[in-house]
């Protein structure tokens, strides 16, 4: 049961001495804020730790307490000592990216996550697919350990809830999420400030990239499938970074009549990252899994080793099949 998982997670954190805290490659708001929240929890327990992920943390999250401590694996000297790993917001071992090169496969690992495709890869697993965000699970863990709430901790948890629910709008916005958010406002979080910073404010690079990607808008299957693409040259010409892609996949997905919206991004290494969003009919986590990815019923992703046009063809075929089933 969930209470037992919380208990085991607490015991895990008390049992080891130095932790490596890892979130998924190209961390989003939930991944980065959960990383920082674990740091604050370990501070309370008096345990030293290293915070890490592969890929840069979006700069707009710089207000998170611990943001400056998060090590970018790619740029690090890769020389750390720790006796246990805590992963947050990772559905499987591969989601940690290159950071896994830092430890043996059999190291004690606490897996904290909310993806239904999570394969329980930890030694201890705190996995709750009902949770809207990994941060929601950490809200429960903080209450379970009875850590006094600070504004810093509250801001971390609120950030994960806010970003993974798309500003408390997606179908994962439960009454439990709203109750937790309400408490966090009482603990000092400025909800307006965070919404404005994370959901309203944008960058010129993002808007220029949006402009280009919308030119590629395409449809299939009686307009039930829609997608946009972002090529390598689009990134170069607009000076956009990975974080500037956020939200673009919602444009095809939000068109009336579209069941599955997608964004295909050409990566520097020649692979294609596909983001899936579903209006509800298709389980895009299952579609993504066919290509080695995963995620949630309505939001998922996968990386394909194929040229862009071929990747689109393969994925669109699979989405058609799912919609016809």
299 binds ligand 5GP (CB under 6 A): yes
Residue 164 binding Mn ion, by CB under 5 A = yes
229 near ligand 5GP, rule: CB under 6 A = no
Q: Residue 67 or 224: which CB sits closer to Mn ion?
A: 67
114 Cβ contact partners less than 8 Å away, ≥ 6 residues apart: 89, 127, 128, 129, 130, 131, 132, 133, 134, 136, 137
Q: Which of 293, 298, 304, 322 binds ligand 5GP (CB under 6 A)?
A: 293
- Residue 298 binds: one of ligand 5GP, Mn ion, none (C-beta under 5 to 8 A by kind): none
Exactly one of 206, 253, 296, 298 binds ligand 5GP (CB under 6 A); that residue is 296
| Nearest residue to 123 via CA among 136, 111, 114, 113 | 111
Tokens matching residue 52:
């890490």
Kindly write down the DSSP assignment for every residue of 164-218, as one continuous string. Answer: HTTTTTSTT--HHHHHHHHHHHHTT--HHHHHIIIII---HHHHHHHHHHHTT-E
Which of ligand 5GP, Mn ion, none binds 252 (CB below 5-8 Å, type-dependent)? none
Residue 88: CB minimum distance to Mn ion, A: 9
Strand partners, 276: 262, 300
Residue 89 in contact with Mn ion, rule: CB under 5 A: yes
Residue 301 binds ligand 5GP (CB under 6 A): yes
- Give the residue at shortest CB distance from Mn ion: 30
Beta strand pairing call for 260-266 and 225-230: parallel
Instruction: Note the residues at the interface with ligand 5GP (CB under 6 A).
Output: 91-92, 95, 117, 275, 293-296, 299-303
């Amino acid at each position: 049961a969930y209470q037992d998982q919380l208990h085991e997670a607490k015991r895990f954190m008390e049992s080891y001495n130095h932790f490596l805290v890892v979130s998924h490659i190209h961390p989003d708001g939930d991944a980065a804020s959960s990383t920082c929240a674990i740091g604050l929890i370990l501070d309370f327990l008096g345990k030293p730790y290293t915070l890490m992920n592969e890929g840069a943390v979006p700069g707009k999250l710089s207000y998170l307490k611990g943001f400056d401590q998060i090590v970018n694996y790619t740029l690090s000297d890769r020389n750390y000592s720790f006796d246990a790993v805590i992963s947050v917001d990772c559905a499987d071992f591969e989601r940690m990216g290159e950071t896994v090169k830092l430890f043996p496969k059999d190291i004690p690992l606490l897996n904290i996550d909310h993806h239904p495709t999570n394969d329980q890869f930890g030694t201890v697993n705190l996995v709750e697919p009902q949770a809207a965000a990994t941060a929601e699970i950490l809200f429960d863990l903080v209450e379970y350990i009875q850590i006094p709430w600070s504004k810093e901790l509250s801001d971390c948890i609120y950030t994960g809830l806010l970003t993974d629910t798309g500003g408390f709008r997606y179908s994962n916005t439960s009454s439990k999420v709203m109750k937790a958010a309400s408490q966090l406002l009482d603990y000092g979080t400025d909800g307006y400030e965070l919404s404005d910073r994370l959901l309203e404010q944008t960058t010129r690079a993002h808007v220029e990239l949006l402009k280009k990607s919308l030119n590629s808008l395409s449809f299939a299957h009686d307009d039930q499938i829609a997608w946009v693409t972002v090529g390598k040259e689009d990134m170069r010409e607009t000076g956009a970074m990975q974080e500037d892609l956020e939200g673009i996949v919602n444009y095809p997905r939000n068109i009336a009549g579209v069941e599955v919206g997608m964004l295909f991004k050409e990566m520097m290494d020649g692979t294609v990252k596909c983001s899936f969003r579903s209006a509800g009919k298709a389980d895009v986590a299952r579609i993504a899994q066919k290509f080695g990815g995963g995620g949630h019923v309505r939001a998922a992703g996968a990386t394909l080793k194929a040229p862009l046009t071929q990747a689109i063809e393969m994925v669109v075929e699979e989405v058609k099949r799912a919609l016809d089933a």
